[in-house]
Amino acid sequence: MAIKLEPTYTEHEVARILKESEGETVSINDRGEGHAEGLHELRSAGRGRENVTPSELLDRLAFEEDIDVASAFDGCQAKAIAYAFNRKAGQTTLNWLCFQNAVSVFAFIDIVAGNFSMVSYSGEHTATPPSGARFVVAPTGRTFLGMPAPKHSAAQYMGIKLMKRGGARDKSLHIRTAFPLAKARQSQTAIITYAYGGSLTQNLPI
């Protein structure tokens, strides 16, 4: 789907973009794949969709050294993204992605007013393990003061990475990832990566 630069995104349109993006790269030089639903949505809408399970979120926290919080939307990812796209910060993000040499935009957008349900696992929310142990050690060596337990809350912010399906000069939207944040940030920002034979990155307010 082509990038729209007006605040008229629907949940259905976003769901279609998510499905088209899942597992896909944007060019032969792109090392990543779309994983918004597969890692950050518990209940994807429609048949043949990817989703993550609570146990997989816990495994990510336990086995991935660079993950402090593993989170997912609870059946509302497409709706939350549409909400973000239709806000000023989302429209600014999409406009910047349309710059001729822009490769990607990674944005943090305030979605607190949307009241979107999410689940997260972290070392800050734990339960006493059945053994009664005072702490738990993950395979990475990270120590938790109890067994990380699911925390249900409303998302405060969304982290989302947008790209162009056919490279820097294309106008088709690819959603690489979109995950909920349980804590608010100081401000809404976006990191824009451009290609000029090399690369240039800007971190700007939105």
Per-residue pLDDT band for 203 (boundaries 50, 70, 90) equals confident
Residue 96's closest CA among 166, 16, 173?
173
Return the axis-axis angle of helices 77-85 and 11-21, rounded to nearest 10°. Answer: 110
In this predicted structure, what is the pLDDT of residue 98? 93
- 192 pLDDT exceeds 80? yes
Domain range summary for the chain, segments of one domain joined by +: 11-205
Count CB-CB contacts under 10 A for residue 198. Answer: 6
Q: Alpha-carbon distance 179 to 37, whole Å?
A: 9
DSSP letter string, 169-195: T--BEEEEEEEEESS--SS-EEEEEEE
Residues 126 and 148: beta-carbon distance below 8 Å: yes
- Residues 6+ positions from 42 with CB-CB distance below 8 Å: 51, 52, 53, 54, 72, 73, 74, 75, 119
Quick one: pLDDT at residue 135? 76
- Could you tell me how far CA 129 lies from the centroid of its own chain? 30
pTM higher than 0.85:
yes
Distance CA 93, CA 102 (A): 11
What is the chain's length?
Answer: 206
Asked if residue 101 lies in contact with residue 123, where contact means CB atoms within 8 angstroms, the answer is: no
- Is the predicted pLDDT of residue 171 greater than 90, yes or no? no
What are the beta bridge partners of residue 159?
108, 179
Kindly state the percentage of the chain with pLDDT values over 90: 67
Predicted pLDDT of residue 130:
77
Give the integer Cα–Cα distance in Å for 43 and 114. Answer: 18
Tens of pLDDT, residue by residue over 27-58, are: 777 789 999 999 999 998 778 899 999 999 99
Tokens 């998302």 sit on residue: 155
